[in-house]
Chains A and B, each alone.
Chain A
Amino acid sequence: GDSVTQMEGPVTLSEEAFLTINCTYTATGYPSLFWYVQYPGEGLQLLLKATKADDKGSNKGFEATYRKETTSFHLEKGSVQVSDSAVYFCALKGYQKVTFGTGTKLQVIP
């Protein structure tokens, strides 16, 4: 079945550091890929998405590129802020349901 593997956290970075959170997936067919973010005390929010190979999703300075050849969708940001502290979930959508990774907690310190 479908599965998502993302790097374990927590990840602790200083403000303005570069962020990479790795995500790889296993799926049949051509899934859509997502990054969701969960801020402390809040619900899941879609951060960005890509629906086909080589698409780049971007939002709020975050980017991720759908790499079919490596089955990856790594999340990157050039300069993190304290306000980016949250849990980040990589996910894929097959036919209907969404399959999530286990989440990576990011803590950004001033």
Chain B
Amino acid sequence: LAKTTQPISMDSYEGQEVNITCSHNNIATNDYITWYQQFPSQGPRFIIQGYKTKVTNEVASLFIPADRKSSTLSLPRVSLSDTAVYYCLVGPRYYNQGGKLIFGQGTELSVKP
């Protein structure tokens, strides 16, 4: 299983763009990259998923370079409500390629006014 490394914490201010990078040097060919957000006292919530290049949804963008050894979650114009822990997961898309979804330590993002 690919191991992920993220910064333990990050600080930002309201209105800024935040980029959180995740390293996954041992990513396998059939692995996808998924990001979750967790608020205090709640379970994690899916944000975005991708395999390569760039993926964008209404919440965030995910940038994945050609070698796929890292990925960057980009949050545009953060607000105080984006203060949370962000997890990067790397794992196979299909169950028959390996059934476990492993979370790392996550990045604690603190957005200040």
Task: Indicate, yes or no, whether A interacts with B.
Answer: no
Residues of chain A whose beta carbon lies under 8 Å from any beta carbon of chain B = none
